[in-house]
Each structure stands twice: as C-alpha cells, then as structure tokens.
Structure 1
Amino acid sequence: MTSQRPPGSFPVKFQGRTFTPKSNYWKTGEVGMSRLTKATRLDPMRDTIRYVRFLDDFPAIPINNYWADISGAVQSRTDPKVYVVQSSRELIQRCIVMATDPGDLVLDPTCGSGTTATVAEQWGRRWITMDTSRVALTLARTRLMAARYPWYLLADSREGRAKEAALTKRPPAETPVYGDLRQGFVYERVPHVTLKSIANNPLIDEIWEKWQQVLEPLRGELNTAMDKAWEEWEIPRDSGEPWDSGSAKAHAIARDASRPEAERISALAIIAHNLGPSFTFETLPEKPRFPWPQEAEAAHAQWWAARIARQKEIDASIAARADVEYLYDKPYVDNARVRVAGPFTVESLSPHRVLPASEEELIDEIEAAEGRRSASDAALADQDFATIVIDYLRAEGVKQQQKGDRVTFESLVPWPGNFIGASGTFFEGENGPERRAAILIGPEYGTVGRQDLVAAAREAVDARFDVLIACAFNFDAHSSELGNLGSLRILKARINPDMHMSAELKNTGRGNMFVVFGEPDVDILDEGGEMIRVKVNGVDVFDPNTGDIRSNDTKGIAAWFIDTDYNEESFFVRHAYFLGDNDPYKSLKTALQSEIDADAWATLYSDTSRPFARPQSSRIAVKVINHFGDEVMKVFRV
C-alpha cells in the first residue's frame, strides 16, 4: 500500500487500529483509502496494511519471451505433416497475431507447406508467399484452397456492433458500416482491476451508504440479543458459541462415517465428558457450537445476507468500472457461417531486373582483381547451366498437354549462336519428315522477353531451322503474342523450377522438366456497349505429328483467370472460373464438408465470364491453367 511518491502519509483508521506509513507514502489519498476499506480491499499485518488482490482481478497472463506452452517449434501436433520442414501452426500464429493487425500484409519468402499463408488467411491478414519448388507451391495452394476458416465477427459490421453492445451494456452506434477488415474483430476481453480503479470509483460510496441503512439496525439487534458490542469486522461468520478444541475434534471424528464405529462411539463419549449432555449420531449438531438465542440467530442470518449482497454489488461496480484487456487471439466466431479462401489475389509476372552489361563486366573485373572470383567464372556458370538444360532435353524431350504430344530429339548438340544455344532434330510422327529445332536457353535466374524471342527467331530463320523452342523458367506477358515468325514456329517451353535441384535429381528421363502449354484460344465478346465479356474455347497447341497448331477444347483447362485492367506489371485475379471434365463441384463439397449454393457455383464453373467494364488501360490479360499446374497468359487490347 506504500510507494516512494505522494499523495500522502496521513493516518488511516482500520478495524479499530491506526496505521501510518513509516518511510514512504500511501498509494492513494484519503478518499481512495476510504473506498478501499469499504470494498474490503485492505488487510492488516502487524504494524501496516496490505492491498488485497484477487486472481480474477486480471484472469490473464501476459506472454513473455519464453513460450513454454508451444510444444513443438517445427511441426504442430494438430496439423498433419505434409512437408519435410513444416512449421508449427501455433508458433506462426502467435508471431502473426502478436506483430500484425487485421488487414496487414505478411510476407513469407520461403513458402514450404504454406503454414504462414494459411495462418494469415485465417486471421484476416493479407499475405504474399513464394517458393522455387512446384511441389511446395502445389501443397500450399491445396492446403489454402481446401481449408475451412472461422468467420470472425468484424467490428465494422452490424453483427459485430450488436455483440459489442451486449458486452459493454451500451447501445450500438447507428453510423453506417462498411465491413472494413482494418477495424479489427470483436474480441473477448477480461477485466483489469487495479488499486487506482477502485480508489477512483464513486459508486462504492453510494452502494456503501445504501446498505449501511440496512446493516446497522441489524447489527444493533444482534448486539442487543447477544449483549455484545461487536463492530462490523468482529461479527463471526457462523452463529453459536464454539465448543472447546477437544470437543470440536471429537465432533469431527463422530460425524465422519468413514471411520470405524468404535472410534466414533469413543468420540461421542469425549463430547459427553467435556460438555455434559450425551449425543447420538442422529442428535449430534451439524456444527460444534452452542446455539444462540433465536433473536440473535435471525439477526445474524439477515445481517450476513445483506453483507454478502453489498459486497457483490460493490464487486460488480468495480468490474464494470475497471479497465479491460482485449484477448487478440480470441475473437468471437459466428458459428452459423464458414469462410473459405478466394482465388490468390496477386501473382507477379514482372521481368527480373538485371544490371547493364557494362556494370556487370565492371563488377566481374573488380571481384577478379580482389581474388574473390576468376574472370571466367560467369561464362563457366552459364555454360554449366546450358549443359544441364541440353542434357535434360536430350533425355526427356519437350512434353505438351496431351500424352502423345512430345517432341523427342534424335540428336541434340550445342550450337555456337548468339541467341541459339543448341540444335536438335526430331521426326514429325512415326514416318514423317525430319525437322530441325533451334533451342533458345533462357537465363538461369531471369525472364525471357519478346525481344529475346524475336532475335532468336531471326537467327533461326537465317540458319534455316524449322522450329524455335525457347526454354526458360518464365516468359514476360508480351512473349505470348509471338507464336511464329513467318513459317518458323515458336514454342515456349517452361522449365520446371526443380531444375535448380539438378544435383539432387537423377536424370531418369521420366520427369516433366520442359512443358509446352500452348496459347489460350479466347474470344472477346464485345457488343459495343460499356460492358464486355470473355469466352475461352480451349488451348492451341503445337502438334509434333503434323507440325500444325491444333485447338483443344476446355476439358484440359482446370481454371482460368481474368485481369480486367492489366497494368503490364502484375496480374490481379479479378475474375476466376473453373472448368475440366472432372467434377470439381463434388470435390469442393467434399473438401469443405458443407453444401454450396448451386447458382453461385454456376457463375464460377463456366467458359464465359461475367460482364465487366472496359479497362482504363485498354488491356486485359487472360491466364489459363491446366490440370498439371502449367499456366500461360495472353494479353488482349480492348
């Protein structure tokens, strides 16, 4: 009750004694001390008084730097292990909830199994996650899209305001609601009762005065009936005069039915010897006390009933006026709804930025001069990567969507061109003519652009190649607009990111390291009005048996997305649709374990988009994804 700072060192009268702080000051003033006394929050101890604190004054424990309640830092016991280095869901959840607010952006540069993205999605955080492995991305996408997430009550919603009003006992605000996630959720809260909140609570005085008008007359009746002068703190909790200690101990033994009967009979004999009257087990009183006069018993019972009622009312006023602490990991859930992840919002397609050649050469020279790198390291690195690509091409060829559509090379050797890195031959069909293919090998870490394809295609035409196959990890958006240069076919073969793990993978010839996923066959349904629509007919693919372009139907399309206002930097999924000859509706119902609105699903399972406004950028982008996860994008001017 004392501190090194004022407000004062005045004497305090408590339970018939006077206390003063010896060297310090009381933590509150005279009014505050009076309210602490009335609230039964003081306790005498020798020559000073203490402040009484209850466990439910603050029934929460702040989290410190030692998280002993998280069992495993690597993998959660509640989540099945689907990835070799899967992180603990509880660990990631604590970090995100502690460090971010709803609507904040969480970045995970190493996706893995998608734990960070899944937790961020659950807690209403925006997220970006990435990885170089198709396995990791597929696992993360499946985990995100098939999960069920709780529907937390938004603070900026009618339901959330109604819940908040019920918790605070105040009428809800009548201002408009917008469902703004950044306003947060409606959280559970706990009171945080402090000495200051009690000392500054004027309701305690009002409640005290009201109940004193009831308690004081009853105390007077009790003192008169018992011929006592008890103060309030001296009134015993139980009525009746207590027996002596020996009789009280024998009383406990006699009433204990689990003891041997001989012990209980001996205890009755001790009571009769000490007190005089004899008792049986049936006539033994419940409490070891002599009864009070009837008037005293009645006044005592009424006084304690009023005393308890006063304390409950004071405690309620303390809890109502106390500060609250929000439990940000316990928002209220609307169990009548379930939430699922929508389509991924942003997928970056920006080309990788590289230094100009002159700066690269300067850096190489400086590092070579300092002995940190030889002058030929860069050339050797490119040569090693090109050799790996050629080896895989020679063993596996280039796969397309149909199983039979595979370009298998009869021969494949390096080619000393400026853009073309290899030359190969293959046969069209079983007995078809032999064709020569020029191989453009893209950078190990970078993107092939339209200008690269044009330069390589011109070199291939001059060398009289029949087909140009560009192999790269990624192509920029405008490269999809170039499908041929004159009679030269241009195929864009996307390299599986697992190529970076070539040292760990065996060259078995059974993988899909190079996949050509053709151009989307799309119609723009433009009737001249303000709104337009898009219809996808299939995918145009190169037929190695005939050398022609063949159009497939929509059965090979798993999903297709539209960016209705493409900015040439990032692809924003503004429309998402699903196709395929399987039954994704049934699969989705199984994954979500709930019914789905058939009309709503019909707007998603379609080869024709919903109408949308003409883009301000005059460009739209359509991305098509097949069942293998391969994707291709095409940009249209509208």
Structure 2
Amino acid sequence: DKTYVVQTSRKVIQRCMLMTTDPGDLVLDITCGSGTTAYVAEEWGRRWITCDTSRVAITLAKQRLMNATFDFYELTNPSEGVSSGFKYKTVPHITLKSITNNPEIREGMTKEEIEASLRKYALVETLYDRPFTDTSKIRVSGPFTVEAVPSPVVKSIDNMVPGEINNEVNRENIYPQIEPDYSIVRTGETLRQAEWREELLKTGIRAKNGQKIEFSSVEPLPGTQFLHAIAETKEYPHQRVVISFGYEYAPLEKTQILLAISEAKQLVPKVEAIVFAAFEFDPEAARNIDEINSKKLRLLKVQINGDLLTEDLKKKRATNESFWLLGQPDVKLERFVEVTDKEMYRVEVLGFDYYNTKTGKIDSGGKAKIAMWLLDTDYNGSCLFPRQVFFPMGGYRDGLDKLVKSIRAEIDEDWFAVYRSTVSRPFLLGKYRRVAVKIVDDRGLESLKVIRIN
C-alpha cells in the first residue's frame, strides 16, 4: 500500500540493487520520499544513506524502517558479518551445448540417469534474489540516526571588536583600517520579493481557527533597507503594517530584526505592526521577536510556504495558503525536587500563545492542539538535539497497537502514556545552560522557545 504520492515499487528498486551491489555495499538515495530505497537496502543487507528536504518524507521513512520486519538470511561466513554475503539457492543451467558435449549420455539410459548426468556437467546459476532463510529468526532494522544540516550562524557585526579582523590579516598596516558596513547585512529588495508581495496581497496571512489578516494594498517601501513593503489591512479600523522578508536560502537573523525595528520607529506616520516573513527563523531571532513585542509596536512571525521557492517546478501548488502566522510557545521551566545531590529541572508546555486578528491581543491556545514537542536539555545555539520527544495528541489506538503487533512484544501502556504528556522527565542542565523547546501544532507549523538559565 502506498504511503507517499510518488512511492516507487519495491520490486523495481530491489532488481536494480541486486544487479549492481553486493551485501555490505553503500547505497545513496538523494530524495528518499517514503524511504523505499532504504527499506530495500535494509532488507538485502546493504548499508544506506538517504536524505530529503521534506520533514514529512523523513518522518514517513523513519516510521517505515522502525516498524519493518525482515526475513533472516543465512550468511556465508557468520564471523565476517553481512559483507561475506548470503547463502543463495542454485540451479543447473542446461543448454544445448552442455547436452551435446556430455560424455556420459548413451543409448539405453533411463530418464532419471540422463537428468542426473545433465545436472552433473551443467553450469550452475546462483539465484541472488533467493537466499536461504532461517525461519527460526526474524530481523528488524539496524541502528540508524536522523540528522539535520544546522542553520548557519553568522557572528554579528556588533560583537566584533573594531579592527579585530584587520589587525589579524593586516599586521604591517599596509591597508587602512575600515569600520563595519551594515549594508552587507541586507542589500535591499531581492528578485523574489515582488512575487511575495503579490502573493501576500492575494492570499493574506492565515491565522488560528480560520482567522485571517487580509490586506487592501501591499506596496514597496522606498528609503528603507530592512523593511521591504508597507501594507494596509482590510478590516476596520485599518492598520498600517510594514513587512520585512527573510532570505531565500538562509534563516532570518537577529541583526535584521533589530535594524528593521529601528527603521520602523523612524517612519512617519507611525505603523502598528511589523510582519517578519521568512521560510526559516534563526532560534535567537525568534526569541528576540517574542521578547521585544510591545503594545505600541506588535511584532508578528509569519512562515512562508516552501512552495513559493519551487513554484516554477510544480504543476500545481499543494495549498493556496502561502503565509501562516506562527504562535509563541508558552513554556515553564521549574526546579524539580528530588532526593539527590544534583539540581534537577523539569519543563512544562502550557500551550501556544496566538495573535488574535480580531482583538489585536494575544490569546492562549492551550495544550489541545500540540501534535508534538521536542526538548533539548543542552542547546548549543545552532542545532536542536531532541533528548526527549512527546506526542500529546497521540492515543493508544493511534499506532501503538500496530507497533506492538509489528515487534511482537508487550508494552506497558501506563509507561507509554508518559510520552503523551506535556511535562518532561526530570533532567540535569548541560554545559551550555540553555534549554530549547520546539513545538509542532496540529497544522504542522513549528515554533522554538529557548530558555537561558543563569
């Protein structure tokens, strides 16, 4: 049964793999989709590396591999592992030439004697798709890791000591000292921004519970470097909003946010809100937006649909919603009292705080719509490493019973209920003394909350 729209048949992948590789070889699949190549490689004893830009595809592939069971094939040399190959079934390859040149065939032989003689002198063919199977054993997927390319982190100009780099590469003062130029941070409008403005005017910004921010006009904003458009909302009372777009292939960073806010405060007449629209937000940038928010100037995080980057490659868009309003995670960190000498902590997710487009205020979204949340108890500032993962919307009948049947084991349902909680397990702080919580809501939108512990 297909679990992915472009899922390839296992038989096709299997035939290609058996013709071109041996057990223990490495197989690379650049766009994994539902993970058929990795599944077949695991089944036939090949090592594999696979990747995809879609987190949906990665999740499907991971789930498929974790739930899979395979036949246990007999090894040629068990002490050498899978690289020694499997024991395969063989059949005689009888040709007209082998019959003609057979020295034992003579007149008067029985049918059984002729067949035995033909098998004796015939060539032997190995059936590489039919290894011997040990039916007393069953095999599951071997250990594998799921890794992500971390977002690039660029050192802010504000954190550089004037002349620091110059003194390092210009020890003899051949070149004059130069001051940092903020124009390198952002170079104004990109070619894509005209398309994004048109799309924003056409679709608006999708908010929670069917709410929407619609605009009567979205125009370029001249004279500014970090604010790229100015818009007016349709709903009365009309509000003036400025938009700052992120990069096409990099996360929106903290420096752009601070400089965009500075430019917005100098505009006359005043604006009511700044919309930061990006495909991805740097964790520190997202934290800044949440912390700087004030009643006088509302800061909104908006995620741009990735389809806008690949629109020229697709016949049809996956959805008509191009801009989604992101919520702010409501997270509480508390000390956990335990009879030990070590200081333990615990995180509780209270829900999402959403911007209400009708009242202009922040409403609490509660815990009901949290599909998944991940906890990194020692966040390094660049790459989230989930040390605890929870699925609050998951139930016993939402896949657990299938998992039990697949691995043929008994699972304590009370213990498994811990992973449907909104309260983490107690943990010790790491060397970075930072905790990161990523929350994914029922729409699939992600938000990150970083908490520093002094």
TM-score clears 0.5: yes
CA distance in 2 between counterparts of 1:81 and 1:527 reads 42
- Structure 1 residues 576 and 86: alpha-carbon distance in aligned structure 2, compared to 1, 3 A threshold: same
Residue in structure 1 matching 2:195, options 388, 391, 411: 388
Describe the SS at the equivalent of 2:358.
coil
In structure 1, which of residues 109, 114, 117 is the aligned counterpart of residue 35 of structure 2? 114
What code does the residue aligned with 2:31 have?
Answer: T
User: Which residues in structure 2 correspond to 1:459-478 (within 5 Å)?
Assistant: 459-463=263-267, 464-478=270-284
Q: 1:124 to 1:474 in 2, by over 3 A?
A: farther
Larger deviation, residues 107-116 vs 387-396: 107-116
Contact 1:152 1:185 in 2 (8 A): no
Alpha carbons of structure 1 residues 503 and 573: separation in structure 2 relative to 1, 3 Å: same
CA distance in 2, matches of 1:498, 1:468: 23
The Cα of 1:627 is off from its aligned counterpart by: 2.1
- Are 1:607 and 2:422 matched, yes or no? yes
Specify the SS of the correspondent of 1:503: helix
Q: Provide the residue aligned with 2:161 in structure 1.
A: none
Deviation of 1:393 (Å): 0.5
Is residue 187–residue 327 contact of structure 1 (8 Å, CA) maintained in 2?
no
Task: State the match for 1:418 in structure 2.
Answer: 225
CA distance in 2, matches of 1:124, 1:618: 41
The structure that is strand-richer by fraction is: 2
Residue aligning to 1:90: 14
Q: Secondary structure at the match of 2:284?
A: helix
Would the alpha carbon gap of residues 592 and 436 (structure 1) be closer, same or farther in structure 2, given more than 3 Å must change?
Answer: same
Q: Secondary structure at the match of 2:68?
A: coil
Task: Choose from 328, 331, 341 the match for 1:519.
Answer: 328
Quote the Cα distance in structure 2 between the aligned partners of 1:587 and 1:340. Answer: 25
Cα 1:534–1:185 change in 2 (3 A) is: farther
Q: Give the aligned partner of residue 59 of structure 2.
A: 141
CA deviations on 1:420-466 (whole Å, 9 max, x unpaired) are 11111115xx6x52211111111222221111111112212222221
Amino acid paired to 2:398: S
The 1:345/1:422 distance shift into structure 2, 3 A limit, reads: same
CA distance in 2, matches of 1:496, 1:473: 7
Deviations 1:229-263 (A, max 9, x none): xxxxxxxxxxxxxxxx9xx89xx9xxxxxxxxxxx
Corresponding position of 1:452: 256
CA distance in 2, matches of 1:110, 1:352: 26
- Which aligned pairs between 1:177-256 and structure 2 lie closer than 5 A? 190=87
Q: Which residue does the alignment assign to 2:174?
A: none
Q: Identify the residue that residue 398 of structure 1 maps to in structure 2.
A: 205
Letter of the 1:398 partner, please give it: I
Query: Contact 2:41–2:47 (CA<8 Å) still a contact in 1?
Result: yes
**Equivalent residue of 2:148, what SS?**
strand
Q: Kindly tell me: are residues 84 and 190 of structure 1, through their superposed partners in 2, closer, same or farther at Cα, counting changes over 3 Å?
A: closer
Indicate how the Cα distance of structure 1 residues 329 and 562 shifts in structure 2: closer, same or farther if over 3 A, else same: farther
* CA 1:507–1:553: 2 relative to 1, 3 Å: same
Displacement of 1:540: 1.2
CA distance in 2 between partners of 1:94 and 1:423 (Å): 59
Once the two structures are superposed, residues 102-124 of structure 1 have per-residue CA deviations (whole angstroms, 9 ceiling, x without a partner) of xx8x7644343433454567669
- Residue type matched to 1:448 in 2? L
From the superposition, tell whether residues 95 and 348 of structure 1 become closer, same or farther in structure 2 (CA, over 3 Å).
farther
Helix, strand or coil: the match of 2:333?
A: strand
Whole-angstrom CA distance in 2 between matches of 1:519 and 1:626? 11
Residues in 2 aligned to 1:126 and 1:521: alpha-carbon distance in whole angstroms = 39
Counterpart of 2:452 in structure 1 is 637
SS of match in other structure, 2:209: coil
Tell me the CA shift for residue 551 of structure 1.
Answer: 1.4
Higher helix share goes to which structure? Answer: 1
- 2:34/2:60 contact within 8 Å kept: no
Checking the alignment, whether the CA contact within 8 Å between 2:330 and 2:353 is kept in structure 1 is yes
Quote the Cα distance in structure 2 between the aligned partners of 1:143 and 1:460: 45
SS at match of 1:479: helix
| Mapping 1:195-594, distance limit 5 Å | 345-351=146-152, 383-400=190-207, 402-416=208-222, 417-426=224-233, 432-463=236-267, 464-482=270-288, 483=290, 484-486=292-294, 487-503=296-312, 511-527=320-336, 529-580=342-393, 584-589=395-400, 591-592=402-403, 594=405
Whether the 8 Å CA contact 1:92–1:116 is kept in 2: the answer is no
In structure 1, how many angstroms separate the alpha carbons of the residues matched to 2:214 and 2:60?
32
Alpha-carbon separation, structure 2, partners of 1:95 and 1:537: 54
TM-score (norm 2): 0.68
Contact 1:531 1:614 in 2 (8 A): yes
Q: Distance in 2 between matches of 1:406 and 1:481?
A: 24
Does the 8 Å contact 2:18/2:129 carry over to 1? Answer: no
1:616 aligns with 2:431: yes
Cα pair distance change 1:457/1:537, threshold 3 Å: same
Q: Give the superposition deviation at 1:593.
A: 7.0
Q: Structure 1 counterpart of 2:287, which letter?
A: E
Shift of 1:397: 0.9
Change beyond 3 A, Cα 1:348–1:628? farther
CA deviation profile, 1:17-72 (whole Å, cap 9, x unmatched) = xxxxxxxxxxxxxxxxxxxxxxxxxxxxxxxxxxxxxxxxxxxxxxxxxxxxxxxx
**1: CA distance, partners of 2:83 / 2:316:** 56
For 2:282 and 2:320, locate their aligned partners in 1 and report how far apart those are by CA, in whole Å: 25
CA distance in 1, matches of 2:357, 2:33: 36
Q: Secondary structure at the match of 1:458?
A: helix
Q: What SS is found at the alignment partner of 1:599?
A: helix
SS in structure 2 of the partner of residue 526 of structure 1: strand
* SS of equivalent residue, structure 1 residue 144: helix
In structure 2, runs of 5+ residues without a counterpart are 89-106, 111-127, 158-185
The residue type equivalent to 2:209 in the other structure is: K
Q: Secondary structure at the match of 1:130?
A: coil
Distance 1:570 1:456, change over 3 A: same
How far residue 605 of structure 1 moved from its aligned partner, in angstroms, is 0.9
Structure 2 CA distance for aligned equivalents of residues 333 and 538 of structure 1: 49
Change (3 A) 1:408 1:89: same
TM-score by length of 1: 0.50
Contact 1:347 1:572 (C-alpha < 8 Å) held by counterparts: no
Cα 1:537–1:184 shift into 2, 3 Å: farther
* Alpha-carbon distance, 1:329 to partner: 8.2
For residues 354-412 of structure 1, the C-alpha deviation after alignment (integer angstroms, 9 at most, x for no partner) is 9x9xxxxxxxxxxxxxxxxxxxxxx9995430011011101111112x23332111221
